Amino acid sequence: MTLSTVDYVVFVTLLALVVGVSLYASRHEEDSEDYFLAGRGLSWWLIGMSLIASNISTEQFVGMSGAGFGTTGLAVASYEWVAAITLVFVALVLLPRFLRAGIYTIPEYLEYRYSRSARTLMSVYMLAMYACVALASILYSGALGIQAIFGFDLTWSVWALGALAAGYTIYGGLKAVVWSDLLQGAALLVGGLLCLVLGLQAMGGWDRFVSMHGDKLHMMLPASHAEIPWTAMLFGIWVPNLFYWGLNQFITQRTLGARSLADGQHGILFAALIKLGIPFIIVIPGIMAVSLYGAEIASPDQAYPVLVRHLLPVGLRGFMLAALFGAVMSSLDSLLNSASTIYTMDLHTRYVRRDLSQSDIVRVGRIATAVLVVAGCAIAPSLDDPRLGGIFRYIQMFQGFISPGIVTVFLFGIVVSRTPASAAMVAMLLNPVVYGVLLWTLPEVAFLNHMAITVTVLAVAMATITAARPSAPVAPLPDRGPVDMEPSRLAPLAGAAIVLATAALYVVFW
């Protein structure tokens, strides 16, 4: 793709604006609460946009669009629409518990509910997943998109993205992250809408698109489908969604920085509302690419980049390049900040040095961020392997080695008050074994169904241990919420409306 002078000017200007605003907004980050949780002063609109921008990166634009291009079609939108309902649950059920306890990290909650060992085990799991799966995947998918659209070298793009995002994340912490997310998220949504509109024009309108691709616009796929069979919609798909949106430090960290419970709830529900529209700007263009440019698309992950390369006129390519850079950086900076928070607060200050000053804690967090980005950049190019079946599937499938256990431990502990710490440890340790055996012995079964089976096995194990050796009634969680804990009166009504809207979308595209 040829870039004009105007493209370069637009790209550099937008990039400088994002970095400049982020660094300015975070110039006073001095203690751990400022650095890791933005001083617990985030308003609802910052939280909502940051949730969306952190989630929707090139792994969605490349991976989810590629799934739409392939055999999955619009059914891959279930990850987005189920997420909307999951976010309602997070806002109304999980967030009040987390904010009341005043925690920095999600693993910290497990120490209050179960034991220090449970907290440590979850922290180790999360760091391994962030470094080996999430971070490398975001860098790889971002570099792949940039390579396909603009012809840049893959490895060079990986390191450039990593260095740029790490730079302001190391300096400014969470506040730099959420302000960059606000700007990058807006650019991302505008860029996605632009591609949707131009794609529909190239197709001859929505009716023409539906007439040509009606077979790909169904949400319910056969039980034999390799990735999203209808059976997975009953249970399996809820496991990664509950983990990702409610128990994943990468996402929840900005909600822990809310200035009030109401702000946190409003921000989460704002993100849920936006999620309902995401498939139209990501999945639908991938389906369009089948008829528009299918002959030149060698693999599904190339669908969106090829579409952009053909559709965008000179002058808008610089904007799209900035939007794609922003997509990667908004996810990358959030991931780096969250991973460094877990390492610093859950591991370093507990097992390496306990007597750190506030400035020392911030310095450890910055060093951890730098180490993590180097590790991710080193791993990312190796993900260019067709055996993985696409980057989006790779991410979702490999999260199954830890997510069912974490979901089971949290939910079981909330519902059954006498669950002992030993049950939680057994469930988290069994998770990779059970899930791995299922992948090996039942490769023809969708991995979402593997997750559902794993949760069932782990829940039975926890119930058995609890029945045999119940703990004393769990002590109340610490009531040290540093924010206004008055719940939102609007949240239950807004949550109900989002659930009904999601159901309506499933009816329309059944």
What confidence score (pLDDT) does residue 160 get? 81
Total residue length of the chain: 510
Task: Mean pLDDT check: name the lowest of 174-183, 203-212, 269-278, 292-301.
Answer: 174-183
What confidence score (pLDDT) does residue 150 get? 66
- The token duo for 433 is 């074994």
Start-to-end CA span in the chain (Å): 38
Tell me the β-bridge partners of 229.
Answer: 221
Q: Cα separation of 258 and 126, whole Å?
A: 22
- The token duo for 258 is 């809310």
Highest mean pLDDT: which range of 260-269, 306-315, 390-399: 260-269
Which pTM was predicted?
0.84
Q: Cα separation of 256 and 36, whole Å?
A: 10
In this model, does residue 9 exceed pLDDT 90?
no
Task: Mean pLDDT check: name the lowest of 145-154, 191-200, 235-244.
Answer: 145-154
In this model, does residue 326 exceed pLDDT 80?
no
Q: Cα separation of 148 and 391, whole Å?
A: 15
What confidence score (pLDDT) does residue 12 get? 80
Q: How many CB atoms lie within 10 A of CB 272?
A: 30
Q: Where are the domains of the chain?
A: 5-399+480-508
- Select the more confidently predicted residue: 318 or 117: 117
Q: How confident is the model at residue 125 (pLDDT cuts 50, 70, 90)?
A: very high
Beta strands in 191-310 (DSSP E): none
Task: Mean pLDDT check: name the lowest of 234-243, 256-265, 378-387, 388-397.
Answer: 388-397
In this model, does residue 121 exceed pLDDT 90?
yes
Q: Which of 434, 440, 447, 446 is nearest to 408 (CA)?
A: 434
Task: Mean pLDDT check: name the lowest of 76-90, 240-254, 329-343, 415-429.
Answer: 329-343
* Backbone dihedral angles phi then psi of residue 260, each to the nearest 5 degrees: -160, 160
What confidence score (pLDDT) does residue 38 get? 57
- Select the more confidently predicted residue: 175 or 167: 167
pLDDT over 90 for what percent of the chain? 25
Q: How confident is the model at residue 466 (pLDDT cuts 50, 70, 90)?
A: very high
In this model, does residue 140 exceed pLDDT 80?
yes
* Backbone dihedral angles phi then psi of residue 462, each to the nearest 5 degrees: -65, -40
Asked if residues 33 and 359 have their Cβ atoms less than 8 Å apart, the reply is: no
Q: How confident is the model at residue 13 (pLDDT cuts 50, 70, 90)?
A: confident
What confidence score (pLDDT) does residue 385 get? 63
DSSP summary character for residue 483: S
- Select the more confidently predicted residue: 485 or 467: 467
In this model, does residue 174 exceed pLDDT 60?
no
In this model, does residue 338 exceed pLDDT 80?
no
In this model, does residue 100 exceed pLDDT 70?
yes
- Select the more confidently predicted residue: 435 or 148: 435
In this model, does residue 336 exceed pLDDT 60?
yes
What confidence score (pLDDT) does residue 227 get? 72
Q: Cα separation of 362 and 41, whole Å?
A: 18
Task: Mean pLDDT check: name the lowest of 155-164, 282-291, 397-406.
Answer: 155-164
In this model, does residue 392 exceed pLDDT 70?
no
In this model, does residue 31 exceed pLDDT 60?
no
Tens digit of each residue's pLDDT (9 = 90 or more) over 246-272 = 998 878 888 888 889 999 999 999 999
Q: Cα separation of 106 and 40, whole Å?
A: 15
In this model, does residue 157 exceed pLDDT 60?
yes
In this model, does residue 168 exceed pLDDT 60?
no
Q: How confident is the model at residue 180 (pLDDT cuts 50, 70, 90)?
A: low
Q: Which residues contact 20 (CB under 8 A, 6 or more apart)?
A: none
Q: How confident is the model at residue 37 (pLDDT cuts 50, 70, 90)?
A: low
Task: Mean pLDDT check: name the lowest of 87-96, 100-109, 418-427.
Answer: 100-109
What confidence score (pLDDT) does residue 408 get? 97
What confidence score (pLDDT) does residue 358 get? 66
The helix/strand/coil state of 121 is helix
3-state secondary structure 276-328: CCHHHHHHHHHHHHHHHHHHHCCCHHHHHHHHHHHHCCCCCHHHHHHHHHHHH
Q: How confident is the model at residue 85 (pLDDT cuts 50, 70, 90)?
A: very high
In this model, does residue 388 exceed pLDDT 80?
no
Asked if residues 420 and 471 have their Cβ atoms less than 8 Å apart, the reply is: yes
Q: What DSSP line would sit under 365-408, residue for residue?
A: HHHHHHHHHHHHHHHGGGG--GGG--HHHHHHHHHTTTHHHHHH
What confidence score (pLDDT) does residue 311 get? 83
- The token duo for 365 is 């967090």
What confidence score (pLDDT) does residue 177 get? 61
DSSP summary character for residue 487: P
What confidence score (pLDDT) does residue 298 get? 74
Q: Cα separation of 167 and 366, whole Å?
A: 10
Highest mean pLDDT: which range of 33-47, 161-175, 384-398: 33-47
What confidence score (pLDDT) does residue 42 get? 79
Task: Mean pLDDT check: name the lowest of 123-132, 229-238, 243-252, 355-364.
Answer: 355-364
Q: Cα separation of 203 and 199, whole Å?
A: 6
Mean pLDDT (the chain) is 81
CATH architecture of structural domain 5-399+480-508: Up-down Bundle (1.20)
Q: How confident is the model at residue 292 (pLDDT cuts 50, 70, 90)?
A: confident
Tell me the β-bridge partners of 258.
Answer: 42
Tell me the β-bridge partners of 260.
Answer: 484
Asked if residues 396 and 447 have their Cβ atoms less than 8 Å apart, the reply is: yes
Q: Which of 124, 147, 171, 114 is nearest to 422 (CA)?
A: 114
Q: How many CB atoms lie within 10 A of CB 456?
A: 14
Dihedral angle over CA of 138, 86, 49, 20, nearest 10:
-40
